[in-house]
Chain A
Amino acid sequence: MPGRGDPSVSSRTLRVVIIAWASFAVASIATAFFFAAFDPVALAEAATFPVRLGRTAGYTLGFFCFWLIALSASAFSVFLIRSMEQSAHRPQ
């Protein structure tokens, strides 16, 4: 039957894809909420360092920042959980 077979080595790839995808979804929602409240142009004006930023650029940049943050948290969690499980499975 297609798609059924031995366990594959690509569970690592799968983990990466899942981490990237889950943080992408969270970042999209965070971006929507954040920029509903704040205008990127106004934010750029209020920054403590000089920035010139259009709105579209601001949204995009914001989105990727959120993605990066979510990605780190997501990957960190997976790392901790995996290493916990691995040490639990180690024969005593």
Chain B
Amino acid sequence: MKNVAKPKKYRATEDSGASMYVAHEKIHAREISGRFQTLRKLAVFVLLGLYYFLPWLNWNGRQAVLFDLPERQFHVFGLTFWPQDFFFLALLLIIAALSLFFFTALAGRLWCGYACPQTVWTEVFVWMERLAEGKRNQRVRLDAGPWNREKILRKTAKHGMWVLFALWTGFTFVGYFTPIETLGLRLLDFNLGPWEAFWIFFYGFATWGNAGFLREQVCMYMCPYARFQSAMFDSNTLIIAYDTERGEPRGLRRKAVPDVATREKLFASIKVEHNAPAEAKLDFPPPEALGDCVDCNLCVQVCPVGIDIRDGLQYECIACAACIDACDSVMDKMGYPRGLIRYDTQNGMEKKPSRILRPRTLIYGALLLALMGAWVAGVTLRQPVAMDVLRDRNALYRVVNDNVENVYTLKIMNKGNAGQRYRLSVEGIDAELVVEREAATRPGEVLSLPVRIQAGLGTVAGGGHDIAFVLETEDGARIVEKSRFFAPGEMQ
């Protein structure tokens, strides 16, 4: 009989608020190295490297990535976005959400384990903690011990590193929104604006609190994704799982005991040859009496969220794969094949084939491609200029010296990076367009231009006429905006 561990209930589904939260004890995760931890470190370097480096990169003499809030314009390499382009930002957010769905359906919580800022910054903070306070056992002892000189020194060192790093993080964050070079100079001058200083501290404080103290509690109690990701899972989703079939019944053993698969073969061959109970001949426990889990608990000790993966998939699991690396190292030591805990699908665990192409991934994938295509097309086909026509609200028309006159305000928005001059004309009516001022804009400017359309009394029929304003830029862009022209006559 295999004794399979009971899966633990999701605590979030328990009803009353009080039972949902359990007393939090600080988790001292044990350090582990291995394939996946190397991969995660790489991800930390690449992502944080990008984060801290990007604002210092220049492009055409300007900060390459700058969400210039004071100037109300976003620069992303060669592209400039104005508030009018907010649509693209919204679309980008939708694309980001959809890719999260897509990758979750495909490979589970990859995001959590490798890319989530919460995980990434926590990694760095944990690394600093190790640097100052030592390995797991030392940290546990230090926390339990009295406040002596060593404890004070080590704790000060840790918090010193944390605070500096958090402040630098906050500074970089603000550097995405206001030019970082001048920000740096002002910082050295102790001449920061009050709001800049405030946001540096605010973001620094958030980093420090989340990565230094809250850690896995952010994932467990604050992250919406952790709650709904299971809705995107199916039996073909790649998850981190313990092979219960192979591992149970778990138990300690002598080092010489071979793995389950080998023992199965041994017992089978002996049974055939001697036709006698195999146990009598072999000095090993039979495969059904002892699985491959040596019950060393290493997988539990390395887990940053403090769960036991052998209890089954739990929503707290952030898929950091530390338990895989831990278990693989144990399997290596025992001379067992790796992968008692591994990345696999539910189907794979049940020895059924897994499918990557399935309606869920196909639909998410197609939607994602369509939206990304729309975004790229939208951005490349963006008109460098936009125009709105507002009719004068006070009067339909005026009669001035034998002329009938309608008044409009043109709102002309220059979305390019250079100054522009425009040619304006009107279509659909035989009348004269009077433009009061020169139609020219600086980059990013919204020009409010009052214009009048004049026609000789009697040359146009009474009533409303459909007209169109035509705006042409020097580099050939042409924009047409419809409006109406009114003249006195039958309508009265």
Contacts and interface: CB of A to CB of B under 8 A. Distances in A.
Do A and B come from the same complex?
A: yes
Given A6-B22, A56-B196, A1 B306 contact: yes
Interface stretch (B11-19, B261-269, B454-462): B11-19
A56 B306 contact: no
Nearest to B195: A56
Contacts of B89: 32, 36
Nearest to B196: A56
B27 interface: yes
Nearest to B446: A39
Interface of B: 16-28, 69-70, 72, 83, 86, 89, 178, 193, 195-196, 198-199, 216, 221-222, 300, 305-308
A18 B12 CA distance: 14
A2 B306 contact: yes
Contacts of B193: 56
Interface string A70-92: 00000000000010010001000
Interface residues of A, number: 30
B72 A39 contact: yes
A36 B86 contact: yes
A60 B194 CA distance: 11
A82 B17 contact: yes
A54 B89 CA distance: 24
A4 B308 CA distance: 11
A11 B16 CA distance: 10
A37 B85 CA distance: 10
B198 A4 contact: no
Given A11-B18, A55-B69, A6 B23 contact: yes
A3 B306 contact: yes
A10 B23 contact: yes
A27 B21 CA distance: 26
B17 A3 contact: no
B24 A3 contact: yes
Given A3-B305, A37-B83, A56-B196, A14 B21 contact: yes
A33 to B, nearest CB: 8
Contacts of A1: 300, 306-308
Given A7-B22, A15-B17, A60-B195, A36 B83 contact: yes
B18 A18 contact: no
Given A6-B22, A7-B21, 20 more contacts: A1-B300, A1-B307, A2-B25, A2-B26, A2-B28, A2-B306, A3-B27, A3-B305, A3-B306, A4-B22, A5-B22, A7-B19, A8-B21, A8-B24, A11-B20, A15-B17, A35-B83, A39-B72, A39-B83, A60-B199
Contact of A2 (B21, B27, B196, B199): B27
Nearest to A5: B23
Nearest to A29: B93
Nearest to B16: A85
Contacts of B22: 3-8
A43 interface: no
Which of B26, B83, B178 counts the most A-chain CB atoms under 10 A from its CB? B83
Contacts of B222: 17-18, 21
12 contacts: A1-B306, A2-B26, A2-B27, A3-B22, A3-B305, A3-B306, A7-B21, A10-B24, A11-B18, A56-B69, A60-B195, A89-B16
A11 B17 contact: yes
Interface in A25-43: 32-33, 35-37, 39
A64 B152 CA distance: 37
9 smallest A-B Cβ distances: which pairs? A36-B86, A8-B23, A3-B306, A5-B23, A2-B306, A56-B195, A2-B27, A11-B21, A11-B18
B95 to A, nearest CB: 16
A63 B199 CA distance: 12
A90 to B, nearest CB: 13
Contact of A7 (B18, B27, B221): B18
A10 B21 contact: yes
B25 A5 contact: yes
Nearest to A36: B86
Nearest to A13: B21
A65 interface: no
Nearest to B8: A4
B310 to A, nearest CB: 12
B1 to A, nearest CB: 26
Contact of B221 (A17, A54, A56): A17
Contacts of B83: 35-37, 39
B347 to A, nearest CB: 30
B90 to A, nearest CB: 8
Contacts of B28: 2
Contacts of B19: 7
A32 B89 CA distance: 10
B138 to A, nearest CB: 16
A54 B24 CA distance: 43
